[in-house]
Structures are given as structure tokens and as C-alpha cells.
A and B are shown apart, each in its own frame.
Chain A
Amino acid sequence: IFTSGASLKDEMVDELEEALLSADVGVRMAMEFCDRVREDIKQKRVKDSGDIQQALRAYLSTCFNGAAKNGFPHTSEKPHVVLFVGVNGAGKTTTIGKIASQLAAENKNIVLAAGDTFRAAAAEQLEIWSQRTNAKLIRGEAGVDPASVIFNALSHAKESGVDYVLADTAGRLHTKSELMDELQKIRRVAGKACEGAPHDVWLVVDATMGQNALQQAKEFHDALGLTGVVLTKLDGTARGGIVVSIAHTLKLPILFVGVGEQADDLRPFVPENFVESLFA
């Protein structure tokens, strides 16, 4: 009878730990936070079971404090250049389409750079998005050096008073060093074409990804210096908990979430709502 209160709280922590693990929150991180709550319970810092979830929520929310940036960067640079990177199939090209659509609605002048010169019909896919959003597309022949497409797109954007350049790149696994080198070259060439470019480098992460996403983010961050993350496919059942570790470890802002395949399926990332969804 005396221990039943304690074991009920322990059970609650166990259940919440399982919820976090099922949401793809980093394994060590989920266990560490739950151990902290178990300690809080022992030290009577957590009084009743209602406080348990609140304590965990608070720990998780601190992971998003490292970078306060949110929403689209409103910028004085012209053009403001955003480079989109990430592993194969994460949703980079579609995300560019969605952002172009948002910026077009704000009457911004946009250029899309078809920096994926490798994958079959990659430029054609981006071309359809440029038609849907009235953005200008700069592309090259299949197989040309992607850096040259980026260079052309930025040169054109500078001359034509364009507000934003959204640059697509081919999907790549972070384990392929020659492909990571290619991205670094794209980055350097962007800076040559337009001083300060790329002003933003955003990693596109698929919400269905598991623990490997943290390693991906680290490698892309080491190679390029990421400035933000977009989390896609949150309209499915996966909860994308890996961004907790990404935000916490790399101090990167999670800027947007993708919630579908159409142009307006993009929302700003709201940490409170996101943390709540992990317990669902």
C-alpha cells in the first residue's frame, strides 16, 4: 500500500519512455531524460503523476531553446540564397516547391536552381514546381557539374534583382565522401557567384527516419554548416522525434514541417505542439 504510489509513478515514467522511443526520440536521450524524472520523483521534486509528463515536457522543450529562429528569414541581402540538402528521397525538391509557393504569394521574385543534375528527371520535377509557382527555373543539361548550375542561377539572380534563390541539390548519403565534397564545392562556388551565399543551408529530414538521422545531420553540419532543418512527411504516422536530438546536439532551429505533397502543405514548426505530439 505504501509503495503503490511510487510504483504508479514509475509505471508512468516507463510508459512515457516507451512513447518517446516509439516516436524516434534518440534512445540515449529518451532514457537520460526519463532517468532524470525518476530522480526528480525520488527527490520529491515531482509530487504527483500530473507533474511527471510536465517534467518530461520541460526537458524536451529545452532542446529547442538553442536556436530561437523561426519562420522564413526576412533578409536584406538580395538575392537571399537558400541551399537545400539532405539524403535521398527526404523531400527537398517538394519542399522547395512549397516554399516557392509561399514566397510567390508574398509577391517575392524567386529563382529555382536545378542543382540536382544527377537523378533521372530531377530538373523536370523542379520545372513543374517553377511553373506552378511562377518562379524562374535555371537548369543545366543532365550530368553537368551542379556547381555550374548554381553559379548561373546566382549570377542571373544578382543581375535581375531577384529576392530569393532556392537551390536544389541531389539527394546523397552522408557516408559518401565524394558526394559530400561535391556539396562543399557547390557551397564555395555559390559564395564566388554572390557574396555571402549561401545565406542559409537547410537540411531536409524525413519524419519517418530513425536514429541514423542524427548522424546524417552531424555529417551535413560538419561539411557545410547548416542553418536550419525542415521536417517532412509529418502528415503520416511517424512523429519525427529525431529532430529533438538534432536540435539539442547541433543547436539548429527546426523551421518548417511538411504535412503533405501539395504546394500549401508547409507549416511553421511550433516546439510546444511538437513536444505534445511525441506523447500521443
Chain B
Amino acid sequence: DGFKRAKSAIGGETALSEANIQEAVREIRVSLLEADVELGVVKTFLERVKSRAIGELVQTEVKHKGTKVKRSPGEHFVRICHNELEKLMGSVEEVPIIYRRPFTTIMLVGLQGTGKTTTAAKLAKYLLNEKRKPLLVAADIYRPAAVEQLQTLGAQLNVPVFHQPDLSPPQLCADALREAKKRKRDVIIFDTAGRLAIDDTLMGELEEIKERTNPTNTFLVCDAMAGQDTVKSASEFNRRIDISGFILTKIDGDARGGAALSIREITKKPVKFLGVGEGVEALEPFRPEGLASRILG
């Protein structure tokens, strides 16, 4: 084995080893933590990539834009990490919204202030572009002027907003299905109140909405600037209401967005959309390449 390694070194090749990638592993660990990737996820991700990479034969020199450049084992390891990260973040053909007849339902959930109400309007705009007929449902009865916020956004888009005073959120969502049928809308978007994952009563409310309306899509709306705790709340939301995917908002800032990797790794659910600004057109179906480089930094 030592001979094989020496021989391949003479031939411009070397094998990746624990020793020659140690420095790179350390640097990537710090980089991922600074990118807000969850501590446990950093460990398991690096262990997995190391076990895949160690023993692999790599070129000590590579052709880069026509000239020969040296590439160290550490640099090779960084490339392997990048590829693994991209693979992890999911494939592009992931269809962002699952449609169903006679109507599709989308339930938006998440912690306080992550961008659910704004995202509901953005999804309505996206659906209009897809030649669908969305109906927005203002099911946040707690936050001051939450209903007005969604109604204002709906009016700007010429999309109807369903709300009735004195109804509980589960009742509102159930009644919305009838409303959609009446108004011949084919996609219904439920905007729910922000809540803590540890709030048993409010998490129960989400379970009840889910039970009564059986939504086709349940999206967890997460802030791209979120830190280590995001995995805890995301896995709790997933455990209680089985999310179909998540939407990462405020990616137009300079937060590295490592929360996306953590949530993906722990829940195994895909990123569906990215929120890239405050306007209603600022929503993009998810693409993994950009995010992988940003997280690795």
C-alpha cells in the first residue's frame, strides 16, 4: 500500500489521507460553523465526506484553463466537500409545488417573523404566472393587522383573500375550501400565525388545520439568517405536521444560509423556493448550486 502510494506520487498522483487533509477539514469545520450549519450536522457531514474521500487517488497537478496548476490534497478535499454539499441540497428537477384536482392547497408555517405572509403573496404571484387561480386565506387571527397585511397584498395582486371574523384558524381553513369551490379558485394558500415549535397549543392548532384540510403542500418558511437553533424548531415542525419542504427567505442578505443544509440533513425534506427580496416577484424555485458555494464560503 505504501509502495502503491509512493508509485502514484511519482506519477503525479497521491492518495487522500487523514493526515494530508487534516488542515482542510479544520478550516471547513470553522467555515461551516460560521455559515450557521448546525454543530451535529457539521460533524456528520465531515465524517461522511472524509470516509468517502480518504484513500481516493487524486492528481497533484490539474489542467485549469489550459495551464497546469498544483492542487493539494486539501484543495481536492474542498472540491469533494462542495460536490457532496450540492448533492445533499437536492436535485433541480424537484417540482416546487405538487398540484392536485379539484384544488391544490398550500399551508405555510414557521416561527415568528420568518416571512410567511409575504411569501404567501409571492406564491400567489407565482401561481398567477403559472396560469393558476390562487385564493389567499388569512388564518393568522393573533398578530395585530395580520389579516390587513394579507388583504393589502392580495389587493395589489388582484387575488382574493378569504377571512371571516370570529372563526378559529382550523375553521377558517376548512371554510376556505368551500369558498374556493364557490369562487372557482384552484390553489388555496393558508397563511398561519408565527409560533414557537415548543408551543404545544399552537402546534396542536396546526395539526388540526392539517387534519381538516389535508393540504397537498406544507411549507416551513425559514429565515436564511437563522442560527444553530433552527434545526430544533424545524425538526419539531416536521415531527408534528410532516412538512413537504421548506422555503428559505431573506437570502438577498449576506447570511451564508447554513440553516438550509442543517434542515435538509435532519428532516430530509427539500428546499422548494428562495425568498430573494421584499417584493411579490422576489421568489425563485430552488437551485442547489448557488447555495452550496455560499454555505461553504
Query: Which residues from chain A sit less than 8 Å from chain B, CB to CB?
Result: 18, 21-24, 27-28, 31, 87-91, 97, 118-121, 124-125, 127-129, 173-175, 206, 208-213, 215-216, 233, 235-239, 241-242, 261
Contacts and interface: CB of A to CB of B under 8 A. Distances in A.
B114 interface: yes
B227 A238 contact: yes
B164 interface: no
A210 B261 CA distance: 14
A237 B197 contact: yes
A128 B36 CA distance: 36
B229 A87 contact: no
Interface string B224-235: 011111101100
B152 A121 contact: yes
B36 A173 contact: no
B107 interface: no
Contact of A210 (B150, B152, B233, B258): B258
A175 B226 CA distance: 16
Contact of B227 (A18, A208, A215): A208
A2 to B, nearest CB: 27
A206 B145 CA distance: 21
A238 B229 contact: yes
Q: Closest 3 CB pairs between A and B?
A: A210-B227, A89-B113, A210-B36
Given A233-B112, A236-B111, A121 B254 contact: no
Given A23-B228, A210-B227, A211-B227, A173 B250 contact: yes
Contact of B149 (A24, A91, A125): A125
B225 A209 contact: yes
B153 interface: yes
A208 B253 CA distance: 16
8 contacts: A28-B34, A121-B149, A173-B253, A174-B253, A175-B254, A206-B113, A208-B226, A241-B227
B88 to A, nearest CB: 19
B152 A211 contact: no
B229 A208 contact: yes
B228 A21 contact: yes
Contacts of B225: 87, 209-210, 212-213, 216
A230 B229 CA distance: 19
A21 to B, nearest CB: 5
Interface of B: 30, 33-36, 38-39, 111-115, 142-146, 148-153, 156, 196-198, 223, 225-230, 232-233, 250, 252-256, 258-259, 278
Contacts, number: 135
Given A21-B228, A208-B226, 5 more contacts: A24-B229, A87-B225, A121-B145, A236-B229, A236-B233
Interface of A is mostly: loop
A215 B254 contact: yes
Nearest to B30: A27
Given A24-B228, A210-B259, A120 B144 contact: no
A241 B152 CA distance: 36
B253 A87 contact: yes
A65 B127 CA distance: 52
A187 B116 CA distance: 30
A236 B113 contact: no
B227 A242 contact: yes
Nearest to A23: B228
B253 A119 contact: no
Nearest to A238: B229
A100 to B, nearest CB: 13
A121 B148 CA distance: 6
Contacts of B223: 89, 206, 208-209
Given A173-B252, A212-B254, A120 B229 contact: no
Given A87-B250, A121-B149, A212-B254, A27 B227 contact: no
A237 B198 contact: yes
Given A23-B228, A236-B233, A175 B253 contact: yes
A91 B156 CA distance: 25
Contacts of A121: 145-146, 148-149, 151-152
B44 to A, nearest CB: 14
Contact of B145 (A28, A125, A173, A210): A125
A220 B115 CA distance: 21
Given A129-B144, A211-B35, A237-B232, A175 B252 contact: yes
Nearest to A142: B152
A270 B63 CA distance: 58
Contacts of A210: 36, 225-228, 230, 255, 258-259
Most chain B beta-carbon neighbours within 10 Å: one of A23, A125, A241: A125
B7 to A, nearest CB: 40
B256 A89 contact: no
A175 B278 CA distance: 13
A89 B112 contact: yes
Contact of A18 (B39, B196, B232, B278): B39
